Amino acid sequence: MNENSSSGLGEIIFGVAFSSVGMFMILYSRTFPKARSAGVMTGPSFFPTIIGIMMLMLGIYKVIFNFRFSRRVSEKMQRDMVSFYKSSKFHNFLIFILSIALYPTIINYLGFLIGSFLFCLVLMRRLRVKWIASIVSSIVIVFISWVIFEKIAFIGLPTGIIFTE
């Protein structure tokens, strides 16, 4: 069975999971403190809510698109289920979800800079990006994120438990 035969099923499962994570982000961000400035909602819940809405919409689009353009989806799902769970796409997906779940704990202990660098590096290496490209990209992503949050938005990022006095 080739990789393309399971791609429809993988895309549908990815869409459902992506939508679920988006919905979780929206609901969880509602527990964050609210702040209003000139009638506009700001504060810690704003960014996760926007990301969650985008993830929810993109996940729904992915599911609808793949259901609409695939034939006999239920037959295809039954036939491809075993091969999909053995595929590298599914393993990458599991590692991505596990990494997202562990990320808040990691940055609480190691801090935003080191934790985010490791997070990016591990995911890029899992996707078989070369070492030098993984390291450089991780540094650039962390630096840009730090500038946006710390210097532009004045949002304090975790320094980590092991590095605080």
Strands 40-42 and 35-37: antiparallel
pLDDT band at 3 (very low <50, low <70, confident <90, very high): very low
Q: How confident is the model at residue 104 (pLDDT cuts 50, 70, 90)?
A: confident
State the DSSP code for 86. Answer: T
Contact 66, 8 (CB under 8 A): yes
Looking at 39-53, 108-122, 130-144, which range is the least confident one? 39-53
Measured in whole angstroms, the distance separating CA 59 from the mean position of its chain's CA atoms is: 12
Q: Mind listing the pLDDT tens digit for each residue in 47-64?
A: 788 888 888 898 898 888
pTM: 0.55
Radius of gyration of the chain (CA): 19
* DSSP line for 5-64: GGHHHHHHHHHHHHHHHHHHHHHHHTTSPPEEETTEEESTTHHHHHHHHHHHHHHHHHHH
Mean pLDDT score of the chain = 79
Distances (CA, A) of 114 to 12, 16, 34, 105: 34, 31, 29, 12
Dist. CA 85–CA 17, nearest whole Å? 15
Give the CB-side neighbour count of residue 8, counting CA atoms within 13 A: 18
**133 Rama class: left (phi>0) / alpha (psi -120 to 50) / beta:** alpha
By CB atoms closer than 10 A (0-12, 13-18, 19+), residue 142 is: buried
pLDDT grade, residue 126 (50/70/90)? confident
Kindly tell me if the per-residue pLDDT of 165 is higher than 60: no
Q: Is the pLDDT of residue 117 over 90?
A: yes
